[in-house]
Chain A
Amino acid sequence: MIGCHLLWLLGCSKEEQVPKTNDFVSFTGKNTYSIPSIQVDTLCLEFKVSEGFHIMSDEEKFAGITTKIRLNTPEGLSVGSPIFPKPKALQLRGATDTLSVFENHLEVLLPLQVINSGKKGNFILKGSLFYQACDSRKCYFPRELAFSVQLKCFNLSQPGE
């Protein structure tokens, strides 16, 4: 009985999980958002950093590749600078260096304002998250995660969804 437990436990401890090469960050936000016409609003873009991974934060003071949001802003929509959350300080094992990173859930706020909603009253906001990830084994070349959200305008007198 002890031998079986021992063998089972050793087998589990020796098993390494090989990371998938591009499965570092995923977009977990909604596909469609309602935004008021004219009034400034804030869009929350949600991402999930895969378990065991971290990505460099947006803070420029560090030498690494910072996380950025790149946007293809459609005409009629004004988008402000992305607002990133407070990063986590990560001490490198075996070194004195400290990294500024994002882990787990990442919410990026985008201030935006509809300037001209046009006839359709909808926008497709396309963008990408540019980031550089490391995990417990390696650091990886920068990746870029594309995302796309539909923005449906509503007048304030007619509440959105």
Chain B
Amino acid sequence: MKFFSSNTPILYSGWIVLTIIVVAFLEACTPSNAHNDQLEQNPYLGINAPSFELPDYHGALYNSAQYKGKYAVIHIATTWCPYCNAEAPYLEKLYQAYKDKGVEVLIIDVKEDKELVKEKLIDRFNLSFPVLMDADGQVAASFAPDDVIPELARDEVMLAANLIIGPEGKIQFFSLLNTNDFDAQLIHLKSRLDALLQ
């Protein structure tokens, strides 16, 4: 019996097409990878968040210890980051909606002049929660996992990241920017927050 016949190319093409269809179906049925990572595979959940002390625009110092006993939503940003700008109005909405539930919101701005931050971030989006100045990027860098894009600077890895720190100081939500699955309206973060507040 011949292993290859004159019909072999047609059959081979057919199997490839069938395989592609099956894989596409499986991919379509699989929930967003970013969401999956957050809920099931994120190795950073439950670990102690780094401590920090940073000034706001007015020079008032904010220490991570003062958030013990509360939930803190932290967004790491710059004024020029388009995804940070897209999220900013929703962070303000989130703060207004959750501040009476023991939830604090803050932005850590990385390596920018405070007057620029005031103009392009605080005033532009009318933010009523603290925007802290991480002048040398060290605090942002301290949140970055060592094994994520290791060739990038740690503070650069954290741009547009979102975290929830729990009342005991442990990370309860950790999301790095994924522009292919960008969650400007913070749907996943709010979902996690609601679950934590139950």
Contacts and interface: CB of A to CB of B under 8 A. Distances in A.
Interface of A: 1-2, 5-6, 9-10, 13, 18, 20-21, 56, 63-65, 92-97, 99, 132, 134-142
A94 B151 contact: no
Contacts of B19: 2, 5-6, 9
B17 to A, nearest CB: 10
B177 A137 contact: yes
B52 interface: no
A92 B120 contact: no
A10 B180 CA distance: 19
A92 B80 contact: no
B81 interface: yes
- Pick the 3 closest A-B CB pairs, nearest first: A95-B184, A95-B86, A94-B182
Contacts of A140: 152, 156, 159
Given A6-B23, A9-B20, A9-B23, A94 B181 contact: yes
Contacts of A92: 82-83, 86, 179, 182, 184
Interface of B: 15-16, 18-20, 22-23, 27, 79-83, 85-86, 120, 124, 149, 151-153, 156-157, 159-160, 176-185
Contacts of A138: 149, 152, 156-157, 159-160, 176-177, 179
A64 to B, nearest CB: 5
Nearest to B119: A63
Contacts of B157: 138
A63 B124 contact: yes
A97 B86 contact: yes
Contact of A99 (B23, B82, B180, B182): B82
8 contacts: A10-B23, A18-B151, A63-B80, A64-B85, A94-B183, A95-B86, A97-B82, A139-B82
Contacts of B153: 141
